[in-house]
Amino acid sequence: MKTENREIERDDEGRPPLVSSWRNLYILVLGNLVVLIAVFYAFTKAFE
């Protein structure tokens, strides 16, 4: 029983926070970057 608990803990150590995989985390970060660039571009055009 003790070894099973240790194996479960090891599996959770490599997982990123908030999402199920590292690939999804990278997609989330890149998506956030694209949204921020679009928002700042829109502000720049609006207040030229």
Q: What is the pLDDT of residue 17?
A: 87
Q: Which pLDDT does position 11 carry in this prediction?
A: 61
Range of the domain at 38: 20-48
Residue 41 lies in a domain: yes
Q: What integer pLDDT is reported at residue 12 of this predicted model?
A: 65
Asked, for residue 9, whether it belongs to a domain, the answer is no
Structure tokens at 25: 């985390």
Which pLDDT belongs to residue 4?
59
**In this predicted model, what pLDDT tens digit does every residue of 1-48 receive, in sequence order?**
555 555 555 666 788 888 999 999 999 999 999 999 999 999 999 999
Whether residue 30 lies inside any domain: the answer is: yes
Sign of CA dihedral 19, 21, 27, 32: positive
What is the number of alpha carbons within 13 Å of residue 25 lying toward its C-beta? 9
pLDDT given at position 3: 57
Q: Is 37 within the bounds of a domain?
A: yes
**25 CB burial (10 A radius; 0-12, 13-18, 19+):** middle
| Any domain includes 26 | yes
For the chain, the domain total comes to 1
User: Do residues 29 and 22 touch, judged by C-beta distance below 8 A?
Assistant: no
What pLDDT was estimated at residue 14? 85
